[in-house]
Structure 1
């Protein structure tokens, strides 16, 4: 089963990379970009065939490795 994991910084956590992107967009002539938040997307291809177990495994992977849950949020969805 395939899943996509989206990891983003929690609200209130400074995002210097997002700010650098916002600044670069302005320098390229893209006006009106008030803020940018960046994150990461991870694709998982799991051998598990049971959807509930596969999603639970993906959630555990996020909690243990893929996301720093102190400063990041994540969501898991079927791919």
Structure 2
């Protein structure tokens, strides 16, 4: 079983890397990009066989280590 965790900065938190990407895209001639937010994608291979138990375990991983919940939000997809 796989878990995909997407981690993004919360709305309202400045994203200097996203702004640098937006600026670089403009410099390369890509016009019309009003904003960029960048984040992380973490893929976990799990031994679990129950999707609900796997999601609960990955939630604990996010809360304890993978995401800084003060400034980041996360979503979990179990596949």
Identify the TM-score tier after normalising by the shorter chain: over 0.9
Asked if the contact 2:54–2:78 (Cα under 8 Å) also holds between the matched residues in 1, the reply is no
Q: Which portions of structure 1, spanning 4 or more consecutive aligned residues, are displaced by more than 2 angstroms?
A: none
CA displacement at 1:78 relative to structure 2:
1.8
What's the TM-score once normalised by structure 2's chain length? 0.97
Aligned partner of residue 13 in structure 1, secondary structure: coil
CA displacement at 1:52 relative to structure 2:
1.1
Structure 1 regions of 5+ residues with no counterpart?
none
Alignment root-mean-square deviation, CA? 0.6
What's the TM-score once normalised by structure 1's chain length? 0.97
Count of aligned pairs: 79
